Chain A
Amino acid sequence: MSLYLFALLAFLTLAGGLGVVSTRNVVHAALYLLLSLLAVAGIYLILFAEFLALVQVLIYGGAVVIVVLFAIMLTRSSEYPRISDNRQWPLALVAALGLLGVLAAAFLAAPIQITQLQSPDFTALSGSLFTKWAVPFEIASLVLLVALIGAIIIARAGKNER
């Protein structure tokens, strides 16, 4: 049962990703991205990672895609030249397929370990996040602060510009 579900979700994820890179309309690309991100949330659910699935839907499916859509609409996407093909694509294709080959070979050669999946306890998760992993957690908040300030600086015109 969960195998079929996984196959379906994996197909949706890949189809969404393929749609993002192949469509020529930026808004469609954002919507394909949404499809892909939501399917990933589904995969998290199969793995009993409820918290991750929740965060994935809320932040990626909700906030990020909405912001992307707003940005596209506010910046008048029609004025941008349409996405064009790059002459280097055959080389990129070879590189991508080569990487796929290496990764597939590596994962197929690895012994499959079957472990009983269980849902992590929310309390335990938050406990370890705020005790053992507190330092990376706090640094992440500083990263966000720098990103926020940086975004404002880049978006705001200054007085002293050349």
Chain B
Amino acid sequence: MSTVTENLYLLTPEFLLAALALLVFALDLVLPESRKTWLAWIGMAGLTALAIFSVRMLAGRTESLYGGLLAVDQFSLFFKVFFMGLGVFIILSSVDFVKQHLSHPGEFYGILLFSILGMNMMAQARELVTAYIALELLSFSLYVLTAYARGNPKSNEAALKYIIIGAFSTAVLLYGISMIYSVAGSTHFDALAETLSSPGQAGPVLWVGVAFLVAGLGFKLAAVPFHMWAPDVYEGAPLPVTAYLAIASKAGAAALALRLISEGLVPAREVWPHWQIILAALAAASMLVGNLVALAQRNLKRLMAYSSIGHVGYLLAGMAALNIGGGMAANGIIFYLVGYAATSLVVFAALISFFNQTGQEEIADLAGLADRQPLLAAAIAIGLFSLAGLPIFAGFTIKFYLFAAVAQGGFLWLAGLAIFSSLISLYYYLQVIRQMYIQPVPGTAPDASGHGEEPSHTASHGQAVAGHASETAAAALRTPTGMLLAVVVAGLVAVLALGVYPGPLLEAIERASQVILPGI
């Protein structure tokens, strides 16, 4: 018994994170309504302190807890710090929004903290049941956060759809786990690899189980063909929650999938390589469908939803290319997650600032933003250029690194397809930038703005939608508030830094991926 619990202290960061969330819940009861913002600051300070504490406590350690249920290693440490850092920025960009549009701020931050705990456990799990329950902690938190704008019917609809699809995908996932258990007799990732590669044991039941597992995770990642829920949920959820869904929940599921594939499927690659084909097919479908359907979107949140489906396609392509000694694909995936997170934070923080002031979220509403608020327009433009993968921004380096790894991993066609769909994505990102920089401010006559270009289809749509916009909405906007400005600036710095000088981060990422795919 002592062998089971002797290194329990390695989970101190998780215990403290749970305590932090409970502290936020408890203080929420005592603090007066006017001081609820303190809870956000407590959450952010706690997360920052915990990230520093985790690094100091766990750097360089590789240990296994509870007979291989959990792994406290450099991989999980990297993701822990990544998730907690993301949490800080998401809270920072939610404070104004929560104050303006949502009630129950204390629970908002507390549940956000619990979801980060869920993601931390997902990055540490080496066993299916633990991974599943950690995923549930994340999912339940996200259901609640999606439903947070209670007065908004779209938020209610989104939450309902999300919870039903989520429950269904959980059932698929669990069914897959039960099939794997029935054959392997164990739910550990490495037992899966062992059973898959022993010819006497592996059979159709195990293969169907793995397929169900992939489908269940595909739902959570919103990979095509399991993506139908994403656009509706992204559109209905409160904007900071949309940002959180697009960035963090994907990163959490990707961390889980990375360890699962590296420990459970990669060792069986010689005997049963079919999982690579499944993942490659999902990747190709996600890239094409996500980016092609994004072309037709008029709502900014839906646009970001389809764009994020496309980005999941790139991540899945990297996962299909995972191989023993091929740490490059794992590095590429983690690097991509970080770069994508920084870029998306810039775009979403700018959109939140825009929404807080205008209440608008259609692409056409951005018309003339460059004149009304140059800083916001520039931030969104840089973010979108980076998402499209243009050089000197993070988007280029992460795509270059990941696609090169995919090509090296034997999926040249997939890398080609990824580059092709990146080009498609450039088109719809440019549409948004065109709205901001070329279209006139709605409400003013086109010739008065000095551009005088012929009215196009999007322009007439823009005027039809924004025609009823009030005088104040069309007027110049304020610069983002301090907190959102901080997120935008920090994100921009990260986007440029990763685009120009990614070396130090890549070293840390290499240390992380060495653990799950050792030996080069």
The answer on a CB contact under 8 Å between B151 and A143 is no
Docked CA distance A149–B203 (Å):
43
The answer on a CB contact under 8 Å between B111 and A142 is no
Q: Using Cβ atoms and an 8 Å threshold, which residues of chain B touch A109?
A: 203-205
From B33, B150, B205, give the contact of A154 (CB < 8 A).
B150
Q: Using Cβ atoms and an 8 Å threshold, which residues of chain A touch B1?
A: 131
Which stretch of A2-10, A40-48, A79-87, A133-141 is in the interface?
A: A133-141
Task: Give residues 285-318 of B contacting A (CB, 8 Å).
Answer: none
From B70, B104, B147, give the contact of A135 (CB < 8 A).
B70
The answer on a CB contact under 8 Å between A162 and B152 is yes
Q: Using Cβ atoms and an 8 Å threshold, which residues of chain B touch A158?
A: 102-104, 150
Docked CA distance A142–B136 (Å):
10
Known contacts A136-B129, A146-B111, A146-B140; A103 and B208 CB within 8 A of each other: yes
| A111 in contact (CB, < 8 A) | yes
- Minimum C-beta distance from B120 to chain A (A): 11
Q: Using Cβ atoms and an 8 Å threshold, which residues of chain A touch B159?
A: 154
Q: Count contacts on A: residues with CB < 8 A to the other chain.
A: 32
| B428 in contact (CB, < 8 A) | no
The answer on a CB contact under 8 Å between B4 and A147 is no
Question: What number of residue pairs across chains A and B have CB atoms under 8 A from each other?
Answer: 107
From B101, B137, B144, give the contact of A139 (CB < 8 A).
B137
Q: Using Cβ atoms and an 8 Å threshold, which residues of chain A touch B150?
A: 153-154, 157-158, 161
| A110 in contact (CB, < 8 A) | yes
| A160 in contact (CB, < 8 A) | yes
The answer on a CB contact under 8 Å between B208 and A102 is yes
| A132 in contact (CB, < 8 A) | yes
| B207 in contact (CB, < 8 A) | yes
| A122 in contact (CB, < 8 A) | no
| A94 in contact (CB, < 8 A) | no
Docked CA distance A142–B103 (Å):
22
Chain B: interface size category? 35 or more
Task: Give residues 67-112 of A contacting B (CB, 8 Å).
Answer: 102-103, 105-107, 109-111
As a 0/1 sequence over residues 13 to 54 of chain A, the CB contacts with chain B under 8 angstroms (1 = contact) are 000000000000000000000000000000000000000000
- Minimum C-beta distance from A92 to chain B (A): 13
Q: Using Cβ atoms and an 8 Å threshold, which residues of chain A touch B110?
A: 149
| B117 in contact (CB, < 8 A) | yes
Known contacts A106-B207, A158-B150; A150 and B140 CB within 8 A of each other: yes
The answer on a CB contact under 8 Å between A150 and B143 is yes
As a 0/1 sequence over residues 92 to 136 of chain B, the CB contacts with chain A under 8 angstroms (1 = contact) are 000000000111100100110010011001000000011001101
| B375 in contact (CB, < 8 A) | no
| B69 in contact (CB, < 8 A) | yes
Known contacts A139-B133, A149-B111; A162 and B101 CB within 8 A of each other: yes
As a 0/1 sequence over residues 130 to 166 of chain B, the CB contacts with chain A under 8 angstroms (1 = contact) are 1001101100110110011111100000010000000
Q: Using Cβ atoms and an 8 Å threshold, which residues of chain B touch A110?
A: 183, 203-205
The answer on a CB contact under 8 Å between A154 and B144 is yes
Most buried by B among A109, A132, A156, A157: A132
| B25 in contact (CB, < 8 A) | yes
Docked CA distance A68–B147 (Å):
21
The answer on a CB contact under 8 Å between B102 and A142 is no
| B67 in contact (CB, < 8 A) | yes
The answer on a CB contact under 8 Å between B137 and A135 is no
The answer on a CB contact under 8 Å between B102 and A160 is yes
The answer on a CB contact under 8 Å between A146 and B114 is yes
Q: Using Cβ atoms and an 8 Å threshold, which residues of chain A touch B148?
A: 153
Docked CA distance A156–B103 (Å):
10
The answer on a CB contact under 8 Å between B133 and A159 is no
Most buried by A among B5, B103, B111: B103
The answer on a CB contact under 8 Å between A149 and B137 is no
The answer on a CB contact under 8 Å between A149 and B107 is yes
The answer on a CB contact under 8 Å between B66 and A132 is yes
As a 0/1 sequence over residues 112 to 141 of chain A, the CB contacts with chain B under 8 angstroms (1 = contact) are 000000000000000000011111100110
From A131, A146, A160, give the contact of B5 (CB < 8 A).
A131
Q: Using Cβ atoms and an 8 Å threshold, which residues of chain B touch A146?
A: 111, 114, 137, 140-141, 144
Docked CA distance A149–B230 (Å):
24
Q: Using Cβ atoms and an 8 Å threshold, which residues of chain A touch B4?
A: 131-132
The answer on a CB contact under 8 Å between A139 and B66 is no
The answer on a CB contact under 8 Å between B137 and A142 is yes
Across the interface, name the chain B residue whose C-beta is closest to A137.
Answer: B133
Across the interface, name the chain A residue whose C-beta is closest to B22.
Answer: A145
As a 0/1 sequence over residues 161 to 178 of chain B, the CB contacts with chain A under 8 angstroms (1 = contact) are 000000000000000000
- Minimum C-beta distance from B16 to chain A (A): 14
The answer on a CB contact under 8 Å between B151 and A161 is yes
List 27 A–B pairs whose Cβ atoms lie within 8 Å, in order of A's numbering: A103-B208, A105-B204, A107-B204, A111-B203, A132-B67, A133-B66, A135-B11, A135-B65, A136-B130, A139-B118, A139-B137, A142-B117, A143-B137, A143-B140, A146-B137, A149-B110, A150-B140, A150-B144, A153-B144, A156-B104, A157-B150, A158-B102, A158-B104, A158-B150, A160-B102, A161-B150, A162-B152
Given contacts A146-B144, A158-B150, 10 further A-B contacts (CB under 8 A): A106-B205, A106-B207, A107-B204, A109-B205, A131-B5, A132-B69, A136-B129, A142-B117, A146-B140, A150-B144
> When A and B form their complex, which 10 residue pairs have the shortest distance between CB atoms, in order from nearest?
A158-B103, A150-B144, A106-B204, A161-B151, A160-B103, A106-B208, A162-B151, A110-B205, A136-B133, A109-B204
